[in-house]
Amino acid sequence: MAAPVDTLLETPLAGLHRRLGGRMVPFAGYAMPVHYPAGILAEHLACRAGAVLFDVSHMGQAELRGEGAAAALEALTPADVRGLKPGRQRYALLTTMTGGIFDDFMVANLGDRLFVVVNAARKDEDFALIEAALPAGVAMRRLPDRALLAFQGPRAAEAVAPLAPDLAALPFMGVAETRIAGIPVIASRSGYTGEDGFEISAPAEEAERLAEALLALPSASPAGLGARDSLRLEAGLCLYGSDIDETTSPVEAGLTWTVGKRRRTEWNFPGAERVRAELSEGPARLRVGLKPEGRQPARAHTPVHAPEGGAALGEVTSGGFGPSLGGPMAMGYVARSHAADGTPLELMVRGRALPARVVPLPFTPHRYAR
């Protein structure tokens, strides 16, 4: 049973969410806005057309300092952390010794230190894992005194330019320490929606002022967790705990691009044996896009079968209605033999077979700055 909202942790923007009419729900131990009065559909479409602001301050932020910090972090991930240049950020995976995904995270090189952002529900486990791997001379400092905001949409860059002219010059996955409306921030050109935009780390005590400055910009409006989820699903992006977890490998999940080129010659990361074997021989299952026929969505844990009452092939891991797509969409894992685009399948929704097909991901094209 979910904890009552009034017993949960709050982000530095909790007061602002309530003033804006946010409907607060439990998420990863925090009270978070699932939507505002406009509703999920409107917030989703506003992100595709203009710019919306999400509060993601529940996520874990930390910095690593000291000679050897990149090498120490690299020992826990297939990503090339040592090759990450100053001013650049990378999406990466923490892997288990059996080749599963412990978590996904972002790592940025700020020149004098590494800046790391991990998932809210896993941050204590992630930080403990990283700390245990650090040699003498390398220290990790958790940053619970920082907020994290995501300003996303095709008009985000032009809207924020008057407050921070240098942000518009950042390339995709670029990161910089700068100021927005005079507030010191760490900003990256990245996000979780498939759109252009920024993720902005700021001191907690300045978070509300920063959020209000961003919401005052042209085309800007607030958005909650509901729109964040439908946006990321349309963009074919994984949610930890749903689409990836300790049972899924980077190869099964279609995340082999996170395995650095050099790391594929060294094979010295956790779970390398499984990843190497699956790259060579193919995995037993693959993450695919699924397009149900008709209007009925298929939710997480819906069984996937071969047509006409055929064998069980896997299950849906994320599913719902795509506002930009104009219909239902889903992601899930199916046997490799049935993972090719266009393959007909059946989704067992409440005991009834719903026809569907394997389709390419993403459902809507990515529009990142390039």
Longest dimension (CA), the chain: 62
Q: What is the pLDDT of residue 1?
A: 45
Length of the chain equals 370
Residue with tokens 């695919």: 288
* Spatial distance between the Cα atoms of 315 and 304, rounded to a whole number of angstroms: 5
Q: What is the pLDDT of residues 157-201, one digit of tens each?
A: 999 999 999 998 999 999 999 999 999 999 999 999 999 999 999
* pTM beyond 0.85: yes
Backbone angles phi, psi at 198, to 5 degrees: -135, 150
Flag whether pLDDT at 5 surpasses 90.
Answer: no
Flag whether pLDDT at 266 surpasses 50.
Answer: yes
Q: What is the pLDDT of residues 110-155, one digit of tens each?
A: 999 999 999 999 999 999 999 999 999 999 999 999 999 999 999 9
Q: What is the pLDDT of residues 53-97, one digit of tens each?
A: 999 999 999 999 999 999 999 999 999 999 999 999 999 999 999
* Spatial distance between the Cα atoms of 85 and 62, rounded to a whole number of angstroms: 18
Q: Where are the domains of the chain?
A: 5-59+145-234, 284-370
* Spatial distance between the Cα atoms of 21 and 200, rounded to a whole number of angstroms: 23
Q: What is the pLDDT of residues 198-241, one digit of tens each?
A: 999 999 999 999 999 999 999 999 999 999 999 999 999 999 99
Q: What is the pLDDT of residue 7?
A: 87
Average pLDDT of the chain is 97
Fold of 284-370: Elongation Factor Tu (Ef-tu); domain 3 (2.40.30)
Query: Which run of H or of E encompasses 41?
Result: helix 40-49
Backbone angles phi, psi at 82, to 5 degrees: -65, -25
Q: Report percent pLDDT > 90 for the chain.
A: 97
Whether 5-59+145-234 and 284-370 share one fold: the answer is no
Is 3.30.1360.120 the CATH classification of the domain at 5-59+145-234? Answer: yes
Flag whether pLDDT at 363 surpasses 90.
Answer: yes
* Spatial distance between the Cα atoms of 63 and 69, rounded to a whole number of angstroms: 10
Q: What is the pLDDT of residue 239?
A: 98
Q: What is the pLDDT of residue 370?
A: 82
Q: Which residues pair with 312 in a beta bridge?
A: 305
Query: Which run of H or of E encompasses 289?
Result: strand 285-292
Flag whether pLDDT at 6 surpasses 90.
Answer: no
Compute the Cα dihedral for 279, 282, 285, 288 and give only its sign: positive
